[in-house]
């Protein structure tokens, strides 16, 4: 039995994107099941899988792993050849630190700029706390590129789990036309050029669901 990833709406679910993108880029085969966040049985179906009642959930035989970062760590242990973390110990420690920072922080940014893949690129004014999050993320990306990025266009050169953790931020910055440094902008373009990125985007554009909570222009629903 192969790996099975349970996710939610590709247009809105930032947490679902993280392991999905990592597995796609790393060439890890898996099946996926999508349950819309507004499905009447969403909570009951997810609770039966993990107890937490949230997406994503990775199913590997009798093993259930939930929470995006835990899924990435599980895959890195199970499939070391996928190189989901940098090989060099210093870079690997740094990557884990910034991935954990992403997992636990930046709540103002998440609240003010919800992920919405199919919304046209349109700026939105940021409050001070969200602007501070943008500045911190830009600094993180710039440091990664300067210290560890010589081997490729991603944070640590080659694509890693850290890139997967920050992928929804790239969507947010793009969708809401957030101004970033030249280094951060180049990184964003590299991530958005991935075939897996385009696959997710096209699927998101075809989804029928509209979730008002994540539509900041509601009741106007803007689509590309």
- Tell me the per-residue pLDDT of 96-132, one tens digit each, with 9 for 90 and over: 999 999 999 999 999 999 999 999 999 999 999 999 9
Using an 8 Å Cβ cutoff, are 118 and 206 in contact?
no
pLDDT, residue 51, reads 87
C-alpha span between 142 and 148 (Å, rounded): 10
Do the domains at 3-80 and 89-202 have one common CATH topology? no
Name the residue among 50, 45, 57, 52 with its Cα closest to residue 16: 57
Does the domain formed by 89-202 have CATH 1.20.1050.10?
yes
Residue 31 bridge partners (DSSP): 4
Using an 8 Å Cβ cutoff, are 72 and 84 in contact?
yes
Residue 103 CA neighbour count, 13 Å, CB half: 19
Higher-pLDDT residue of 146 and 224 is 146
Residue 156 bridge partners (DSSP): 158
- What are the CA-CA distances from residue 36 to residues 33, 186, 207 (Å)? 10, 33, 10
pTM of the complete model: 0.96
CB count in 10 Å sphere of residue 2: 10
Please say if the pLDDT value at position 1 is more than 80: no
Please say if the pLDDT value at position 136 is more than 80: yes
Tell me what the pLDDT averaged over the chain comes to. 97
**What are the residue ranges spanned by the domains of the chain?**
3-80, 89-202
5-19, 31-45, 209-223 — which is least confidently predicted? 209-223
Q: In degrees rounded to 5, what are phi and psi of residue 172?
A: -60, -50
* Strands of the 30-34 sheet, one edge to the other: 30-34, 3-7, 57-60, 63-66
At 140-172, the pLDDT tens digits run 999 999 999 999 999 999 999 999 999 999 999
Per-residue pLDDT band at 224 (split at 50, 70, 90): confident
pLDDT, residue 89, reads 97
Using an 8 Å Cβ cutoff, are 165 and 140 in contact?
no
Structure tokens at 74: 């599980």
Q: Which fold has domain 3-80?
A: Glutaredoxin (3.40.30)
Mean pLDDT over 54-66 rounds to 97
């Amino acid at each position: 039995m192969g790996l099975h990833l349970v996710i939610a709406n590709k247009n809105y679910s930032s947490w679902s994107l993280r392991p999905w993108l990592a597995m796609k880029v790393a060439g890890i085969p898996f099946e996926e099941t999508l349950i819309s966040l507004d499905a009447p049985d969403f909570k009951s179906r997810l609770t039966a899988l993990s107890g937490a009642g949230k997406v994503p959930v990775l199913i590997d035989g009798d093993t259930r792993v939930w929470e995006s970062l835990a899924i990435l760590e599980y895959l890195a242990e199970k499939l070391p050849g996928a190189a989901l973390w940098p090989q060099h110990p210093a870079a690997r420690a740094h990557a884990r630190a910034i991935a954990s920072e992403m997992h636990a922080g930046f709540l103002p940014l998440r609240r003010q700029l919800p992920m919405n893949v199919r919304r046209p690129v349109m700026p939105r004014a940021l409050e001070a706390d969200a602007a501070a999050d943008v500045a911190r993320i830009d600094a993180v990306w710039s440091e990664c590129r300067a210290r560890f990025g010589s081997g490729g266009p991603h944070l640590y050169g080659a694509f890693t789990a850290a890139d997967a953790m920050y992928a929804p931020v790239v969507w947010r910055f793009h969708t809401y036309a957030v101004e970033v440094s030249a280094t951060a902008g180049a990184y964003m373009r590299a991530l958005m050029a991935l075939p897996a990125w385009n696959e997710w985007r096209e699927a998101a554009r075809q989804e029928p669901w509209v979730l008002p909570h994540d539509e900041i222009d509601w009741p106007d629903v803007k689509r590309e």
